[in-house]
Structure 1
Amino acid sequence: MATVQHSPGAREADSTATTNIQHPGLKDADTSQWEAEFTAPTTPVKRPDVPTLLRTLRDEGPQERIAAVFEEHYIEAWFGLDPVELRSVLNAATEREVRTRPIVGYIRSLLRGETVPLLSDVRQNGVKTLRASERGAVVAMAVLESRLRGELSTAMQLAERLGADAPAANALVDGSLGTASFMSLQAGITRMLAGDFARALADLERVKWTAPPAALTFFVRDAHAKAALVHAIVGDPELARRALASARQVQRTNSWAEALVDATAQLAEVIIDRNADSTALGQLLATGRTEIGEMWPLFILSLAPTVLSGDAGAAHMLAAMEGAALPGSKSSQGLTGSAAALVRAAQAAEAGHLSEARAALAAADPDLPLTKLVQAGAALDSGMPGQALAIALDVAAHTAGLRQLELWRLSILHLGHRALGEEDAAQASLDQARPLAAGLGAIALPVSGSARAQIQSLLHDVPLPTTAPTALSLTPRELEVLVRLAAGISRREIAEQLFVSINTIKTQVSSLYRKLGVRGRGTLLAEAYRRGLI
């Protein structure tokens, strides 16, 4: 049974700083008085500070109400109290009330380090046996434990359930008490660790459109920070900068989780500022090892450009992390089980050691889009351009909207077509890749050093088209659709977010194709980048 690690620096939340609302007269109030106040969500000024309320119930009673309060507000309780204090609160709950509210017992057992049989049952049998009131919390716990075990396929299946069960997002008032934000965020984190970056960005985008309670606004900040990290590593650094700027605008809370959000944001910032050398990354790892937490596979990916450049310090960090007992590191699933192997494969390809590259790839998840791109690079280096082309074409749906991954893919297409003597196709791929490469500097393409130098020269030494982009008159709604397409959100999801029909979105996408003179989502986004529209 995996244990859940919170930040060691977590400290008791100051209730007044979280909501600026005191729970009046609770010490002397009778049960009916505070219960009526607690269950009146339609009166925001009367909404209690959940951590303070639970502490008061533990210390002054009535303790039989702890289980009911926790069940209704388990998310605020979990993130508002550090694990030691939360365990003491739940230990004070009366056994009779705990038995009638299973979620309280499950989480208490989790905090005690005890086996929670229900989690195994959920992974094996789904959620049909669960009550609606406890389904979200139990599935979220199962998702977390599956991730920590490295069972990414199981976690992904459960994340799909989380997404299906999540209440509809509401940017004005969150009647779900943070559940909508929490479930979408957990789905996004799971997809990040599974290497499904495009869908992860879509989940994170949903979080940004929620309005959780004041004590849980760090969910929105975390969504911005994690979107920044995805874009910093495989997407668009400029979008990463915008996401970090948005994260800084979100009001901070007193939750212990703020330190984890900070670590994610700091890692993204180091990468996009091009300071991701062994010194900067080493300092970040030394000061925030615990706070990096589940994001350690993305930290390993951030080492790739520095490892490929021959930085001995980065290579040492990679070796140290490979030998550490990191959560899920013994798995072969998703990014969790593949990050180190992929960096090793790219390192071997860079040095021209093809047998070593293939051996490293054998340890990576073959279904991972990143794995497929590295396999395509290995195929090129092995003199199999046709196989490289097939892989690069197959992975296109997973790289759309992710600037750096799409640049990798188009570069492999160019080299593959060129190796086959297909000059027109090679030039077309290069023409699509060049605007994506502008401003990125060196790219960590997973091919041999000579091939990487060749594509680098073609991308940057050949001047970009000198013709100024034609002025466009995109409507505000077309721009909204374009930004969401760049974030990897599907047309149907965009329609839901903008409260219009799917046919309306199809019409607007067709208009974008026409105005930008392109066909297909990938070329649309490439041209939009070139014109500075996204």
Structure 2
Amino acid sequence: MIRVLLVDDHALIRVGFRLVLESAGGIEVVGEAGDGRAALEQTAALRPDVVLMDVRMPRLDGIGATRRLVEAAPGVRVLILTTFDLDEYAFAALRAGASGFLLKDAAPADLVGAVRTVAGGEAVVSPRVTRRMLELFAHRLPAPGEAPRPDGLDPRLAELTPRELEVLHRLAGARSNAEIAAELFLSEATVKTHVARVLAKLGVRDRVHAVVLAYETGLVRPTLG
């Protein structure tokens, strides 16, 4: 069973999500919270697999709650509820550690699928969408410096080999494993191994968070039009 905590300051929304999720099978709603602070308390007490988190709430908003939650309970996945797919809140949520975002008017099947996806360790947003969001809201990133050099890597990239840096750069360009394999003249199996090592060394949850880190470190520069 996938254990889910619902966090939204509107009780009717929580009721609707509960009905959808519990009718799907294999998902149990273990608790509810009406604000970010209550979400942290409920997460500590109930240890859900997935937290379905609203953004705009009293006492502590969803972005702040997500940041604290992923630090305190790294095994818990956060799925953010948002109104627009390319807005500042969704972007801020990804940087805070959320595993994806979902539109509030999503179809029931999409809600169920998103919960199952993040529970399985994947992100509910493609690296391509993440890249676009980073370009739209690049002003919120640290100012990128010169391209990383072997003698001057950001500490977060220092453990990567030259080949792994190449792979990370292409991940940030929203390349698939097949595209990376073609560009670097490698097999897809080898690329998959490199990607797994990159994620492990960087301590990031998935490809989406690797993209965010690549921009934050200046490995990739936003291309604003």
TM-score after normalising by structure 2:
0.35
Considering fraction of residues, name the structure with more helix: 1
Question: Which structure would you say has the larger Rg?
Answer: 1
Higher relative contact order (CA 8 A, sep 6+): 2
